[in-house]
Structure 1
């Protein structure tokens, strides 16, 4: 028996850090499946992983290669590949001479250039695009390798000045022969830059048309987008051009998150025109749309990164699709009948990454007791199996929490969805009558969603006797557009109210100790955590807070202190700055430091251009001398989202020490550094 918080656990900070991240950007190259994988122990780089048909899994590019880009700062699909033996363009004579095997095109994070690489032929990757010294340089993502044209078609994000919004985005064609490696003029622009944002092109089965998604400020992609279609000219020395570009669907109040061509030449789009992201067949000429499976479920989510894929077409016309309300499943949809058959298994979250090889569909999935794995579905037999990145229990699963879905009641009786993770450790029990401390986790975004899956960082706390509740507050994806729109002009209100409502209900029902409830979050979750310390809506609820790379000053963030992608996000989240400037001040923690009573720790990456350190620094100037215990930890080489193992370990230990000092327990591990809290 031991007090909550002081339980010894085999889930160490080192273990949690080593399992951070998941496979991303999965795709097929011939008969093989490839993806990018996190490497926290290697400075946080993303490795490119190959799964051969015989089941052998191997990392292809060694350090320091980092398969990642900075398009929109969050990054987009960083690679694509084709089988080299299928090529037939004279520009690729060199590749054909190298024999069989794949040709890969990828972006390298350090210089943001596009590279070509033949992994089975030896040698090093060769650059395809030039370096730029202007502003944030040139960035490329969502590539489509077209060997018959001798080009890669992709999104080009190009800075035109030194400011974070001095840039343009177009669809571009990059020669595969390397002629553009030192010559920007050799890159062909396929579209003009009339739209601020574009996704990569998708070519029709006959190669005669291209489709992509576009949108403009102040809309975010979950607010309103356009489905664009253009004709593709015949191949020639120019490699083909796009003509007659037109919008066939979408608008300011319709979000189209993904588009693909069906084998019959029609388009399939995930659009929320019904209030839910459902799959629609869209006529590429008229824009007429038919809902293929009308349900109050989401078949897509927020397009935070270009190249996310919630559905994929099978050669026989069936559609593999991720779908659900809250939890997600992988299903096979017959568009002719609307019938949807789900994959059996214990997975509760399928990522936006699907690949098709013949009648096999491969995706990335996790469950409450398993991390993200590569899952292959045989659509002929209905059998699903783990084929890559297999989950293995790093510790006895008895130390994992046993989570459950909860629906809480927020202001005005509104539903608030959350996941509850009570403390659990087979070796310990708390003294009779003691209620456990709890931490409210507010996710980032804020137009995001936290799934019910195994997270060893979360298990680190629950196995020590600290409960966690993850709140999908109003504004979260996964529950339809109406739920998502609750946050319009209400950021700093609805999110704060919903998290506080969950905390109060847990206390009232006797689940949590009302005197020992904390809040934590990163990015938009860091905003909600900080706002909860300064807002009257959550007054007296939280004993302390962990605030990670947050937004703290709305007005300055909206006027030059963040990147282009989110530079006008607050126009919908808070309201037009020109019309309601007082609202920006009233809700910002920066201007209400005098209301902070609870201890807190601020964790910040020094290379963060999305939520820059200056926001924390100004806030701390206001806190100084007010007698509030706090700490500020910064991490060189880290941006928005910690990736390095040593950073994550230090952050977890600092958070633990904050809770120990605030909640009144001694950590079981004597090696956990005591966080110095300065008044």
Structure 2
């Protein structure tokens, strides 16, 4: 018989340490010979990412011990940071080390030999950074993207496709790096070499566009000495986003484009499977992969509307056959060799794990980072996909996670508190997968609703473009509409609603607290708080012109920046809030939080500010995540009027 306790006071085996220890997911999968390799997070090892391999006998082993951290800082969000090749004497690995951003080569089978640097350090600004490496052993080179700072400012930077010699001759000599392209474009992806080695393709774009607004697919011929002839634009433009291009085994060039309103696959300008669903997504990190051509001519694809499934596309018939299995969502990382495909999949009952699909047999299985229930799955939430109606009758997509506990229920007549989660980006989407941070709250009796507000990806370009010029309006309205709808239908307690989010979601949370009165409190995590400063040198180069699309050019609409910035409306905040910030965040720097709090001084609004040493944009250390989760729960407990067992009390200042 279920025990009756108020919402928020249900005892749960999912504590903050357990949730923190399972934060993150496998990324950058690939096949090195017959072995599957990928990167994995290590929250308890200072938040580093390591490289893991599955050997032919099925064993898993960590390739690089601490303190090696396989992670790039190109455009601050990084991207694919390693590449490997199998040789008779064993695997050869190249990777980017986070601490110094140098490219290293490593041969795990070589006795006593550690990683050796391939690229030099630079004393200028942010130095030399590398991402999306492609090993070309026969050429003795690694082709990748070079990001080179030319001064101390975040926008004093150039990016080109480059070739790094494998012999180590560039380890102390910047001039030994061979630049493949010039600097006519502000942003480039890693160059992809055709099977015959005679052509190369890459993607480029320029300020003020973001890669989901418009990019260009560029192709050039490769000469006998490895240089490139004059490149030409094959596809793309200011209103056409091409986030990925790959050569097929027959030498044709495949690419994803949203020219028809959805990211579909194209070959020679012809859509292979025209559907009102997405076969790609936003290029937040260089080297993301939503499709991979097979040697047979088939194409492994991630596709869907909202959720992203793994399937096999026959380009001749346009038919897609999805992989059988429990996975309902796949991350933007994919690789293929022969008939084998490796991907990273999850579901509402399982976290992300490395999945292998055999295209010949259709058999899919877990081959790495296998999900293991850390607690009885009876404590996991039971999510629901919902569509709500927003202002003007527009659709709002959301995932609802009601409170859930196998042994406890609330007193009759009590409605649960709910927290509205606004995702980051804002050009992004939250997947419907098992997240122990969500279970941390739902298993205690606190509901969560994740809102894929207008501007989110996964629902076509028209839905994505809703946020153009409307950031701080549409996202805020959509979150408020979902919260109000839950209260109106009797799902949530209208007096116990909160809003929370990180990065762009932190912005949405902060704007919500300054412009609406529907939330009793909020959690604001490494946020944008000052629009004018964010777009005038206080953030990194990649997003430094993002607000021109989201808000409008500052020179044309300066009043709009003031109207929407939470910094300018601190006086409107009356609800208690928690502010969480990494002190080494180059994207949303702590200076914004400090200015915000300075203006709040003397207003007697209960709040707490927790700033974490050694953390950047996105918390990666277990101890940070534990402190942040417990602080957030304590905020809700104090505002909503319940007493969760075993949770330290967060001191709220006034």
Say whether the fold is shared (TM-score over 0.5): yes
Q: TM-score under structure 1 normalisation?
A: 0.95
| Structure 2 residue matching 1:559: 3-state secondary structure | helix
Q: Give the gaps of 5 or more residues in structure 1.
A: 86-99, 283-288
Distance 1:678 1:447 in 2: 34
Q: Deviations over 1:132-152 (max 9, x none)?
A: 111000000101111111111
- Displacement after TM superposition at 1:355 (Å): 1.4
The answer to whether structure 1 residue 205 and structure 2 residue 195 are counterparts is yes
Distance 1:252 1:224 in 2: 4
Q: Which consecutive segments of 4 or more residues in structure 1 shift more than 4 A?
A: none
- List aligned pairs for 1:396-545, cutoff 5 A: 396-535=376-515, 539-545=516-522
Q: Give the match for residue 172 of structure 1.
A: 162
Q: Give the match for residue 33 of structure 1.
A: 36
- Displacement after TM superposition at 1:346 (Å): 2.2
User: How many equivalent residue pairs?
Assistant: 650
The answer to whether structure 1 residue 347 and structure 2 residue 327 are counterparts is yes
Give the counterpart of 2:339 among 359, 369, 393.
359
Q: Deviations over 1:413-468 (max 9, x none)?
A: 00000000000001111001000000000000000000000000100000000000
The answer to whether structure 1 residue 158 and structure 2 residue 148 are counterparts is yes
- Displacement after TM superposition at 1:381 (Å): 1.3
Q: Give the match for residue 256 of structure 1.
A: 242
Q: Give the match for residue 15 of structure 1.
A: 18
| Structure 2 residue matching 1:332: 3-state secondary structure | strand
Distance 2:525 2:437 in 1: 15
| Structure 1 residue matching 2:243: 3-state secondary structure | strand
Q: Give the match for residue 85 of structure 2.
A: 82
Distance 2:95 2:517 in 1: 50
The answer to whether structure 1 residue 114 and structure 2 residue 103 are counterparts is yes
| Structure 1 residue matching 2:472: 3-state secondary structure | coil
Give the counterpart of 2:612 among 623, 628, 635.
635
- List aligned pairs for 1:187-266, cutoff 5 A: 187-235=177-225, 240-266=226-252
| Structure 2 residue matching 1:145: 3-state secondary structure | strand
Q: Give the match for residue 91 of structure 1.
A: none
The answer to whether structure 1 residue 56 and structure 2 residue 71 are counterparts is no
- Displacement after TM superposition at 1:84 (Å): 2.5
Distance 2:139 2:229 in 1: 17
Distance 1:382 1:176 in 2: 38
Q: Give the gaps of 5 or more residues in structure 2.
A: none
| Structure 2 residue matching 1:9: 3-state secondary structure | coil
Distance 1:397 1:648 in 2: 22
Give the counterpart of 1:664 among 627, 641, 653.
641
Distance 2:248 2:270 in 1: 14
Distance 1:350 1:404 in 2: 18
| Structure 1 residue matching 2:105: 3-state secondary structure | strand
| Structure 2 residue matching 1:171: 3-state secondary structure | strand
Distance 2:308 2:534 in 1: 34
Q: Deviations over 1:15-70 (max 9, x none)?
A: 00000000001111111111110000000000000111221111110000000010
Distance 1:10 1:571 in 2: 46
Give the counterpart of 1:135 among 122, 125, 129.
125
Distance 1:113 1:484 in 2: 36
Q: Give the match for residue 76 of structure 2.
A: 73
Distance 1:508 1:83 in 2: 60
Distance 2:367 2:127 in 1: 38
| Structure 2 residue matching 1:352: 3-state secondary structure | strand
- Displacement after TM superposition at 1:540 (Å): 1.7
Distance 2:387 2:344 in 1: 27
Distance 2:361 2:137 in 1: 34
The answer to whether structure 1 residue 677 and structure 2 residue 652 are counterparts is yes
The answer to whether structure 1 residue 269 and structure 2 residue 249 are counterparts is no
- Displacement after TM superposition at 1:195 (Å): 0.2
Distance 2:370 2:90 in 1: 25
- Displacement after TM superposition at 1:532 (Å): 0.1
Taking only aligned residues, the RMSD between alpha carbons, in angstroms, comes to 0.6
Q: Give the match for residue 614 of structure 1.
A: 591
Q: Give the match for residue 350 of structure 2.
A: 370
- Displacement after TM superposition at 1:263 (Å): 1.5
Q: TM-score under structure 2 normalisation?
A: 0.99
